[in-house]
Chains A and B, each alone.
Chain A
Amino acid sequence: MKSESLRPRLDAGWLILTVLAALFMAAPAQAQLRLDITQGVRDAVPIAVVPFGGQAASAATDVAAVVANDLKLSGRFAPLERADMMTRPTSGAGIRFEDWRLLKSDFIVVGRVEPESSAAAVTFELFNVQTGQSLLTQRLPTTERGLRATAHRIADLVFERLTGVPGAFSTRVAYVSAEGKPPAQRYKLIVADADGYGPRTIMESAEPIMSPAWSPDGQNLAYVSFEGKASAIYVQRIATGERRRVSARSGINGAPAWSPDGKRLALTLSRDGNLDIYTLDLATQVLSRVTTDDAIDTEPEWTQDGGSLYFTSDRAGNAQIYQASLAGTREVQRLTFTNSYNARPRLAPDGASLALVTLDRGGYRIATMDLKTRNLRVLTDATQDESPSFAPNGAVIIYATRARGRGSLAMVSSDGRFQQRLSSELGDVREPAWSPFPQR
């Protein structure tokens, strides 16, 4: 009840910041992402995440720190500094709410890892500081993925309880990095936690890697590799590294996109230099042609029902977004009419809008288009923004931009109210792809 009354404040006040963060700790040779908050967080909701009990100060994973960091990077919350905490309760019974009211925290999260010896589970509680009302209490077993994964899960649950939107802190991001100067570059396909932690190279090559795409179950990545001096599409199982080449036809093999059921890929192939879109059944290898126009047709994206594809085509003279039905006559309909360049459509998780790249007042920028009203809304203001990818909760779009002459990743809230940049210490990073929610 009381928490409900706070909703309007959250809705009105936030700047949706982002979810990716920064971080570090991985193998030194890895390109690591660091967060540059390019806009201050205004109107973020103050929350206290008290250090969890049952954890030594030297614990490898500080659960409360991970939770606080996730919430901070979401842009919607402003965690209280630990130094300002007068007490450190580890359960609801130990909270003196008047203390936290003085500190102007609206909410408080307390918890403990238990038993301390094995860290087998984490219990946490969320309270409304003003009313003392308990909003959430849960005991989460620690999985083989460890305490850090459990901490992200806690952040997901707290975020959802307070905003009504599921948190996307337990997800991952894939991206491509290029290191070295042209023409002697090395390309890496990297998968990191959504907060940027623990980047791991899952594929590396002296030839370009492009267009990573997550399977709907989050277990596989499809991508384009030029390792054979020509493009080919591979599907790689992330857990094992095992992969198979699914398309290496003569000419271009590009832009893989998974069907919603994960059984087919839409992709771009070329014959005599003309790019067209096809679908490929991964089990049967049956290939079906979707477009036949004598133009560039590429960058397919499935509709939510799997019955048609959005794609980029320059059939009208410049790049615009179209939709082709996969049934019957394969009727094609043009969707974008604003601006002279619109490309790389990506469907929002709720199916109501597309994120795309648009040429807006001289710059390539990220925009969303409402599929019902066809209104185009430009979200970013740089000149070379590309490769938008929605977080699975739809709140944020990650994309690639150029900063100080190098590729970097950035995020913008889907409503355009908040932007932030992630920079890499090494090389150029590009083509971020946000994973689906993990399967539970």
Chain B
Amino acid sequence: MKFIHALAVIVLAMSLAACTKPKQVQPDAGTQAPATTAEGGATTSGLGNEAAAGSAGSTALSAQQQAIADLNAKNIVYFAYDSSEIQAEYVPVVAAHAAYLAKYPAAHIRIEGHTDERGSREYNIGLGERRAQAVRKALMLQGVADAQITTVSYGEERPAAQGSDEAAYAQNRRAVLVEIQ
């Protein structure tokens, strides 16, 4: 059983890694649009078991660590202006985290909600919280326990990109899913 779990996690991890190279937001990139292609997120490489073929017992933990690293490499959900709705292209991002958290009930995730810089700061804390809550609810619908989830809203206080144009705004309207072991 343990081996199966480890295998599943690794396959999952590999599949995530195999998705189009995550277009992580480069701080200060300024003009790069957020990742828009996850291609369903269902791509599985099918070769992920090589690493797991060794000693199943000792790989469980490292598999989890690897899974965390992989999940944290693709952990941003972007939102439309004035919206907290998770768009279809980010459903697989959330699903990958949900699968991991459901598999490891002792694991925790912190969801950070962010907005662009327009409007009043404390009100934006409210909008960022809505985004974090949208992700939280999606995770819970997929079997993650409430106790595994912490949310924090930074509003416009922690921008990913500087600049006062739509390109920067699009990168800043986001929820970041941070796996904590």
Contacts and interface: CB of A to CB of B under 8 A. Distances in A.
Contacts of A430: 121
A310 interface: no
A275 B125 CA distance: 9
B162 A273 contact: no
B120 A386 contact: yes
Given A210-B157, A226-B157, A273-B133, A181 B119 contact: no
B136 interface: yes
A210 B132 contact: no
A298 B158 contact: no
A231 B128 CA distance: 13
A183 interface: yes
A275 B162 contact: no
Q: Which of B118, B120, B157, B160 has the most CB of A within 10 A?
A: B120
B105 interface: no
A181 B162 contact: yes
A299 B123 contact: yes
Contacts of B117: 384, 402
B34 interface: no
Interface in B123-154: 123, 125-127, 129-130, 132-133, 136, 150-154
Interface string A325-353: 00000000000000001011000000000
Contacts of A275: 125-126, 129
A356 to B, nearest CB: 9
A251 interface: yes
B161 interface: yes
A255 interface: yes
A299 B120 contact: yes
B27 interface: yes
Contacts of A270: 129
Contacts of B130: 273, 296
B41 interface: no
A100 interface: no
Contacts of B120: 299, 312, 319, 343-344, 357, 364, 386-387
A8 interface: no
A18 B117 CA distance: 26
A61 B159 CA distance: 42
A182 B27 contact: yes
Interface string A284-323: 0000000000001011000000000000101000010000
B65 interface: no
A335 to B, nearest CB: 16
B166 interface: no
Interface string A176-213: 00000111010000000000000000000000101100
A185 B28 CA distance: 13
A268 B159 contact: no
Contacts of A125: none
Contacts of B153: 231, 252
A211 B164 contact: no
B154 A357 contact: no
B163 interface: yes
Given A357-B119, A384-B164, A386-B121, A208 B157 contact: yes
A296 B133 CA distance: 13
A242 interface: no
B85 interface: no
Nearest to B127: A296
B134 to A, nearest CB: 9
Nearest to A178: B157
Contacts of B136: 273
A183 B27 contact: yes
A226 B121 CA distance: 14
Nearest to B123: A343
B122 interface: yes
Nearest to B132: A273
A405 interface: yes
A405 B30 CA distance: 12
Given A182-B158, A231-B152, A273-B132, A211 B122 contact: yes
A272 interface: yes
B123 A296 contact: yes
A436 interface: no
Nearest to A341: B119
A251 B151 contact: yes
14 contacts: A182-B27, A182-B28, A182-B158, A182-B161, A210-B125, A273-B129, A275-B125, A296-B127, A298-B125, A343-B119, A343-B123, A344-B122, A384-B164, A387-B121
Interface of A: 181-183, 185, 208, 210-211, 226, 229-231, 251-252, 254-255, 268, 270, 272-273, 275, 296, 298-299, 312, 314, 319, 341, 343-344, 357, 359, 364, 384, 386-387, 402, 405, 430-431
